[in-house]
Protein backbone atom coordinates (compact mmCIF):
# COMPACT_ATOMS: atom_id res chain seq x y z
CA UNK A 1 0.00 0.00 0.00
CA UNK A 2 1.38 3.45 -0.93
CA UNK A 3 2.02 6.14 1.65
CA UNK A 4 -0.77 8.31 0.18
CA UNK A 5 -3.39 5.56 0.27
CA UNK A 6 -2.33 4.60 3.80
CA UNK A 7 -2.71 8.23 4.88
CA UNK A 8 -6.17 8.42 3.32
CA UNK A 9 -7.15 5.18 5.07
CA UNK A 10 -5.95 6.56 8.42
CA UNK A 11 -7.89 9.78 7.86
CA UNK A 12 -11.08 7.82 7.19
CA UNK A 13 -10.55 5.65 10.27
CA UNK A 14 -9.87 8.67 12.49
CA UNK A 15 -13.06 10.38 11.30
CA UNK A 16 -15.07 7.43 12.62
CA UNK A 17 -13.68 7.83 16.15
CA UNK A 18 -15.36 9.73 18.97
CA UNK A 19 -14.10 13.16 19.99
CA UNK A 20 -12.63 11.72 23.21
CA UNK A 21 -10.77 8.99 21.29
CA UNK A 22 -9.31 11.59 18.92
CA UNK A 23 -8.07 13.61 21.88
CA UNK A 24 -6.33 10.62 23.45
CA UNK A 25 -4.78 9.44 20.17
CA UNK A 26 -3.62 12.99 19.45
CA UNK A 27 -1.97 13.12 22.87
CA UNK A 28 -0.15 9.85 22.10
CA UNK A 29 0.95 11.19 18.71
CA UNK A 30 2.03 14.57 20.12
CA UNK A 31 3.97 12.99 22.99
CA UNK A 32 5.76 10.55 20.67
CA UNK A 33 6.64 13.39 18.30
CA UNK A 34 8.16 15.71 20.90
CA UNK A 35 9.16 13.46 23.78
CA UNK A 36 10.04 10.37 21.77
CA UNK A 37 8.25 7.97 24.14
CA UNK A 38 5.04 7.42 26.08
CA UNK A 39 3.72 4.98 28.68
CA UNK A 40 0.34 3.98 30.05
CA UNK A 41 0.79 6.03 33.23
CA UNK A 42 1.04 9.26 31.26
CA UNK A 43 -2.27 8.46 29.57
CA UNK A 44 -4.03 7.51 32.80
CA UNK A 45 -2.87 10.68 34.56
CA UNK A 46 -3.71 12.95 31.63
CA UNK A 47 -7.23 11.63 31.06
CA UNK A 48 -8.02 10.14 34.48
CA UNK A 49 -8.65 6.70 33.00
CA UNK A 50 -7.86 3.10 33.90
CA UNK A 51 -4.85 1.13 32.70
CA UNK A 52 -7.04 -1.14 30.58
CA UNK A 53 -8.44 1.85 28.66
CA UNK A 54 -4.93 3.24 28.20
CA UNK A 55 -3.80 -0.09 26.77
CA UNK A 56 -6.73 -0.09 24.33
CA UNK A 57 -5.85 3.41 23.11
CA UNK A 58 -2.19 2.50 22.59
CA UNK A 59 -3.25 -0.64 20.72
CA UNK A 60 -5.60 1.43 18.54
CA UNK A 61 -2.83 3.91 17.80
CA UNK A 62 -0.52 1.07 16.78
CA UNK A 63 -3.23 -0.33 14.47
CA UNK A 64 -3.64 3.04 12.77
CA UNK A 65 0.10 3.80 12.59
CA UNK A 66 2.06 0.53 12.94
CA UNK A 67 5.30 2.13 11.69
CA UNK A 68 5.21 4.88 14.31
CA UNK A 69 5.71 3.03 17.57
CA UNK A 70 7.93 0.37 19.12
CA UNK A 71 7.35 -1.38 22.45
CA UNK A 72 10.20 -1.34 24.97
CA UNK A 73 9.71 -4.41 27.16
CA UNK A 74 12.40 -3.33 29.62
CA UNK A 75 10.44 -0.42 31.08
CA UNK A 76 7.11 -1.19 29.38
CA UNK A 77 7.05 2.05 27.44
CA UNK A 78 6.33 2.86 23.82
CA UNK A 79 9.08 4.52 21.77
CA UNK A 80 9.04 6.64 18.65
CA UNK A 81 10.03 4.39 15.74
CA UNK A 82 12.63 5.50 13.21
CA UNK A 83 9.89 5.36 10.57
CA UNK A 84 7.64 7.73 12.57
CA UNK A 85 5.27 9.94 10.58
CA UNK A 86 2.71 11.97 12.58
CA UNK A 87 -0.79 10.56 12.50
CA UNK A 88 -2.20 14.07 12.90
CA UNK A 89 -1.31 17.30 11.12
CA UNK A 90 0.31 20.10 13.12
CA UNK A 91 0.30 23.76 12.26
CA UNK A 92 3.76 25.10 13.14
CA UNK A 93 2.64 28.39 14.66
CA UNK A 94 -0.15 26.84 16.75
CA UNK A 95 2.08 24.00 17.93
CA UNK A 96 4.89 26.35 18.97
CA UNK A 97 2.33 28.42 20.89
CA UNK A 98 1.13 25.26 22.66
CA UNK A 99 4.67 24.32 23.57
CA UNK A 100 5.48 27.78 24.90
CA UNK A 101 2.31 27.71 27.04
CA UNK A 102 2.92 24.12 28.16
CA UNK A 103 -0.18 22.73 26.42
CA UNK A 104 0.58 19.14 25.48
CA UNK A 105 -2.58 17.54 24.09
CA UNK A 106 -1.62 18.38 20.51
CA UNK A 107 -5.25 18.23 19.38
CA UNK A 108 -6.04 21.08 16.98
CA UNK A 109 -9.72 20.24 16.72
CA UNK A 110 -10.70 21.32 20.23
CA UNK A 111 -11.33 24.96 19.35
CA UNK A 112 -14.22 25.03 16.89
CA UNK A 113 -15.05 28.74 17.40
CA UNK A 114 -13.12 31.31 15.36
CA UNK A 115 -11.95 33.64 18.11
CA UNK A 116 -11.48 37.33 17.15
CA UNK A 117 -7.77 37.33 17.98
CA UNK A 118 -4.94 38.22 15.61
CA UNK A 119 -1.25 39.10 15.77
CA UNK A 120 1.34 40.82 13.56
CA UNK A 121 3.19 38.72 11.04
CA UNK A 122 6.39 37.05 12.24
CA UNK A 123 9.48 35.92 10.44
CA UNK A 124 9.59 32.43 8.99
CA UNK A 125 8.23 29.84 11.44
CA UNK A 126 10.67 26.96 12.21
CA UNK A 127 10.18 23.47 10.79
CA UNK A 128 8.17 21.66 13.45
CA UNK A 129 10.15 18.43 12.94
CA UNK A 130 13.44 20.26 13.54
CA UNK A 131 11.92 21.65 16.75
CA UNK A 132 10.72 18.16 17.74
CA UNK A 133 14.23 16.69 17.44
CA UNK A 134 15.69 19.51 19.51
CA UNK A 135 13.02 19.06 22.21
CA UNK A 136 13.78 15.32 22.33
CA UNK A 137 17.50 16.03 22.73
CA UNK A 138 16.84 18.48 25.58
CA UNK A 139 14.52 16.09 27.43
CA UNK A 140 16.98 13.21 27.05
CA UNK A 141 20.10 15.26 27.82
CA UNK A 142 21.64 14.43 24.44
CA UNK A 143 23.93 16.30 22.07
CA UNK A 144 22.84 16.90 18.49
CA UNK A 145 24.62 17.27 15.17
CA UNK A 146 23.15 20.05 13.05
CA UNK A 147 23.67 21.68 9.68
CA UNK A 148 23.68 25.38 10.49
CA UNK A 149 23.82 28.33 8.10
CA UNK A 150 25.41 31.39 9.68
CA UNK A 151 25.93 34.89 8.29
CA UNK A 152 29.70 34.62 8.68
CA UNK A 153 30.55 31.10 7.48
CA UNK A 154 27.59 29.74 5.50
CA UNK A 155 26.32 26.17 5.93
CA UNK A 156 28.47 23.92 8.11
CA UNK A 157 28.08 20.98 10.47
CA UNK A 158 28.01 21.84 14.17
CA UNK A 159 27.63 19.77 17.31
CA UNK A 160 25.76 21.35 20.21
CA UNK A 161 24.23 20.34 23.54
CA UNK A 162 20.88 22.19 23.62
CA UNK A 163 19.16 23.11 26.87
CA UNK A 164 16.38 25.62 26.05
CA UNK A 165 14.28 26.84 23.13
CA UNK A 166 13.73 30.61 23.17
CA UNK A 167 11.17 32.88 21.49
CA UNK A 168 12.75 36.35 21.42
CA UNK A 169 9.67 37.94 19.85
CA UNK A 170 11.07 37.92 16.32
CA UNK A 171 12.73 34.52 15.92
CA UNK A 172 12.97 31.17 17.64
CA UNK A 173 16.40 30.24 19.00
CA UNK A 174 17.87 27.18 20.67
CA UNK A 175 20.45 27.86 23.36
CA UNK A 176 23.13 25.35 24.16
CA UNK A 177 26.80 24.49 24.40
CA UNK A 178 28.63 24.79 21.08
CA UNK A 179 31.41 22.21 20.90
CA UNK A 180 33.14 24.13 18.11
CA UNK A 181 33.71 27.32 20.10
CA UNK A 182 33.51 25.71 23.56
CA UNK A 183 30.94 28.27 24.65
CA UNK A 184 27.20 28.66 25.21
CA UNK A 185 25.45 30.30 22.27
CA UNK A 186 22.07 30.95 20.66
CA UNK A 187 21.27 29.37 17.30
CA UNK A 188 18.40 30.59 15.10
CA UNK A 189 16.23 27.52 14.53
CA UNK A 190 15.15 28.51 11.00
CA UNK A 191 18.84 28.33 10.01
CA UNK A 192 19.06 24.68 11.10
CA UNK A 193 18.39 22.32 8.18
CA UNK A 194 19.15 18.95 9.77
CA UNK A 195 19.21 17.53 13.31
CA UNK A 196 20.64 14.17 14.37
CA UNK A 197 20.61 12.95 17.98
CA UNK A 198 23.99 11.79 19.27
CA UNK A 199 24.72 9.03 21.79
CA UNK A 200 27.99 10.64 22.88
CA UNK A 201 28.49 11.37 26.57
CA UNK A 202 27.49 14.88 27.67
CA UNK A 203 29.81 16.43 30.25
CA UNK A 204 28.47 18.51 33.12
CA UNK A 205 30.26 21.63 31.83
CA UNK A 206 28.06 21.40 28.72
CA UNK A 207 24.76 21.56 30.64
CA UNK A 208 22.53 24.52 31.51
CA UNK A 209 23.74 24.66 35.11
CA UNK A 210 27.18 25.73 33.78
CA UNK A 211 25.74 28.38 31.44
CA UNK A 212 26.58 31.47 33.50
CA UNK A 213 24.64 33.86 31.28
CA UNK A 214 21.58 31.62 31.55
CA UNK A 215 21.76 31.09 35.30
CA UNK A 216 22.49 34.73 36.15
CA UNK A 217 19.41 36.91 36.82
CA UNK A 218 19.30 40.68 36.36
CA UNK A 219 16.86 43.11 37.99
CA UNK A 220 15.63 45.73 35.52
CA UNK A 221 13.98 49.01 36.54
CA UNK A 222 12.05 50.30 33.52
CA UNK A 223 10.27 53.67 33.60
CA UNK A 224 8.47 55.92 31.10
CA UNK A 225 10.98 57.82 28.99
CA UNK A 226 11.76 61.14 30.75
CA UNK A 227 11.81 63.27 27.57
CA UNK A 228 10.00 61.38 24.79
CA UNK A 229 6.74 60.72 26.65
CA UNK A 230 4.36 63.61 27.36
CA UNK A 231 1.88 61.63 29.46
CA UNK A 232 3.78 58.92 31.38
CA UNK A 233 0.54 57.63 32.91
CA UNK A 234 -0.33 56.04 29.55
CA UNK A 235 2.92 54.06 29.54
CA UNK A 236 2.40 53.09 33.18
CA UNK A 237 -0.97 51.60 32.19
CA UNK A 238 0.48 49.85 29.12
CA UNK A 239 3.08 48.00 31.17
CA UNK A 240 1.26 47.65 34.50
CA UNK A 241 3.82 49.77 36.31
CA UNK A 242 3.72 50.16 40.08
CA UNK A 243 4.71 53.59 41.38
CA UNK A 244 5.83 54.65 37.91
CA UNK A 245 8.23 51.70 37.50
CA UNK A 246 8.19 48.20 36.07
CA UNK A 247 10.56 45.85 37.88
CA UNK A 248 11.55 42.70 36.01
CA UNK A 249 13.96 39.86 36.71
CA UNK A 250 15.45 38.57 33.46
CA UNK A 251 18.17 36.06 32.58
CA UNK A 252 21.36 37.72 31.38
CA UNK A 253 21.22 35.62 28.20
CA UNK A 254 17.82 37.10 27.34
CA UNK A 255 18.11 40.69 28.53
CA UNK A 256 19.31 42.05 25.17
CA UNK A 257 16.34 40.53 23.36
CA UNK A 258 13.86 42.12 25.77
CA UNK A 259 15.46 45.57 25.65
CA UNK A 260 15.54 45.47 21.84
CA UNK A 261 11.99 44.19 21.50
CA UNK A 262 10.59 46.88 23.80
CA UNK A 263 12.88 49.65 22.45
CA UNK A 264 14.13 50.48 25.93
CA UNK A 265 16.55 53.44 25.92
CA UNK A 266 19.69 52.12 27.66
CA UNK A 267 21.71 55.33 27.54
CA UNK A 268 22.95 56.77 30.82
CA UNK A 269 21.16 60.10 30.31
CA UNK A 270 18.03 58.92 28.41
CA UNK A 271 19.32 60.69 25.30
CA UNK A 272 17.73 58.59 22.52
CA UNK A 273 15.16 60.60 20.58
CA UNK A 274 12.11 59.37 18.72
CA UNK A 275 8.58 58.21 19.41
CA UNK A 276 9.64 54.54 19.37
CA UNK A 277 11.61 55.06 22.60
CA UNK A 278 8.87 55.22 25.21
CA UNK A 279 10.82 53.43 27.94
CA UNK A 280 14.10 54.07 29.75
CA UNK A 281 16.22 51.71 31.85
CA UNK A 282 16.89 53.68 35.02
CA UNK A 283 19.42 51.23 36.51
CA UNK A 284 21.65 50.48 33.51
CA UNK A 285 24.48 49.42 35.86
CA UNK A 286 22.60 46.15 36.37
CA UNK A 287 23.58 45.14 32.83
CA UNK A 288 27.26 44.79 33.67
CA UNK A 289 28.54 41.45 32.45
CA UNK A 290 25.68 40.58 30.07
CA UNK A 291 27.04 39.47 26.70
CA UNK A 292 24.24 40.15 24.20
CA UNK A 293 23.92 43.90 24.72
CA UNK A 294 25.01 44.89 21.21
CA UNK A 295 21.32 44.90 20.30
CA UNK A 296 20.24 46.92 23.38
CA UNK A 297 19.25 50.44 22.17
CA UNK A 298 21.91 53.00 23.01
CA UNK A 299 23.88 50.79 25.39
CA UNK A 300 27.62 51.49 25.64
CA UNK A 301 30.01 50.04 28.19
Three-class secondary structure assignment of the chain: CCHHHHHHHHHHHHHCCCHHHHHHHHHHHHHHHHHCEECHHHHHHHHCCCHHHHHHHHHHHHHHCCCCEEEECCCCEEEECCCCCCCCCCCHHHHHHHHHCCCCCCCCCCCCCCCCCCCCCCCCCCCHHHHHHHHHHHHHCCCEEEEEEECCCEEEEEEEEEEEEEECCCCEEEEEEECCCCEEEEEEHHHEEEEEECCCCCCHHHCHHHCHHHHCEEEEEEEECCCCCCCHHHHHHHCCCECCEEEEEEEHHHHHHHHHHCCEECCCCCCCCCCCCCEEECCHHHHCCCCCHHHCCCCCC
What's the pLDDT score for residue 99? 72
Residue intervals of the chain classified under CATH 2.30.30 are 128-212
pTM for this entry: 0.78
The mean of the pLDDT values for the chain is 88
What's the pLDDT score for residue 170? 83
What's the pLDDT score for residue 123? 64
Q: What is the mean pLDDT of residues 230-241?
A: 96
Q: State pLDDT tens for residues 47-91.
A: 899 999 999 999 999 999 999 999 999 989 999 999 999 998 888
230 burial (CB, 10 Å; 0-12 / 13-18 / 19+) is exposed
Whether the pLDDT of residue 250 is over 60: the answer is yes
Of residues 3 and 300, which shows the higher confidence score?
300
Whether the pLDDT of residue 194 is over 80: the answer is yes
Domain over 3-100 is classified CATH 1.10.10.10:
yes
What's the pLDDT score for residue 108? 45
Q: State pLDDT tens for residues 11-54.
A: 677 888 888 999 999 999 989 998 899 999 999 998 899 999 99
What's the pLDDT score for residue 17? 87
Of residues 103 and 246, which shows the higher confidence score?
246
Which CATH number is 128-212's, of 3.10.450, 2.30.30, 1.10.287, 3.20.170? 2.30.30
Whether the pLDDT of residue 119 is over 60: the answer is no
Q: State pLDDT tens for residues 272-285.
A: 999 999 999 999 99
Residue intervals of the chain classified under CATH 1.10.10.10 are 3-100
Whether the pLDDT of residue 4 is over 70: the answer is no
202 burial (CB, 10 Å; 0-12 / 13-18 / 19+) is middle
What's the pLDDT score for residue 122? 65
What's the pLDDT score for residue 106? 47
- Confidence tier at 114 by pLDDT (50, 70, 90): very low
What's the pLDDT score for residue 120? 59
What's the pLDDT score for residue 96? 75
Whether the pLDDT of residue 260 is over 50: the answer is yes
What's the pLDDT score for residue 105? 54
Amino acid sequence: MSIISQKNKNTNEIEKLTFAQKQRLSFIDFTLLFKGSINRKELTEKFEMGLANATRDLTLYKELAPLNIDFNAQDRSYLQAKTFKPLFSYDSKQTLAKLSHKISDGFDGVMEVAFPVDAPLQLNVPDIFIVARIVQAILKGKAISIIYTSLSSGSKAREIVPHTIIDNGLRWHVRGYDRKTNSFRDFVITRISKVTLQDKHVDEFETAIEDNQWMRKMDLHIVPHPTNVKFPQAIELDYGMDGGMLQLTVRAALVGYLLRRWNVDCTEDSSLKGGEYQLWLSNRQTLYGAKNLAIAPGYQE
